[in-house]
Amino acid sequence: MRLLFPRPPRTRYADDPFPALPDFPIMRFLHTMLRVGDMQRAIDFYTRVMGMKLLRTTDRPDQKYALAFLGYAANPEQAEIELTYNYGVDRYEMGGAYGHIALGVADIYATCEQIRANVAQFGGSISREPGPVKGGDTLIAFITDPDGYKIELIQRDA
């Protein structure tokens, strides 16, 4: 079987309930797709508020949709967000199963202040101010994008 990506070394633990499957190909997380009601508004939010780069776009007028891929780096270095705009659809209902996207940040308080300075112009909000997770000491915050999607910020050492 041809592997899609090189297999990284695996650390084995005596109590590992999921031993490596020798013939199972290693997979890589590529992107998460979000449906948006206004492509330019969504691109502005993710680039100007969240600091991502617009990596590439595709417009398919015959199929009545457009795509924009954004991220902090392109695949395969990092996973991306795929924004999908379906012509004529300006709003989606949030399903009960969707949770959030999580991003690691070095300084959650400074990051939230930078976001706060931009959401008035580009939409979105800080829906949970930075602070420790309930029952723990990990610092988190939540941002809501203009389409209602949640983005969790988690403070991580650089």
CB atoms within 10 A of CB 80: 23
Catalytic residue among 77, 80, 113, 152: 152
CATH of domain 31-90+99-155: 3.10.180.10
Tens-digit pLDDT profile for the chain (158 aa)?
444 445 455 555 556 555 555 555 666 788 999 999 999 999 999 999 999 999 999 999 999 999 999 999 998 899 999 999 999 999 998 887 788 999 999 999 999 999 999 999 999 999 999 999 998 999 999 999 999 999 999 998 75
Question: CA 51, CA 44: separation in Å to the nearest integer?
Answer: 10
Domain residue limits, the chain: 31-90+99-155
Q: For residue 60, report the phi and psi dihedrals to the nearest 5 degrees.
A: -120, 75
Active site residue 152: yes
Question: CA 22, CA 18: separation in Å to the nearest integer?
Answer: 12
Enter the pTM of the model.
Answer: 0.75
Strands 150-155 and 139-144: antiparallel
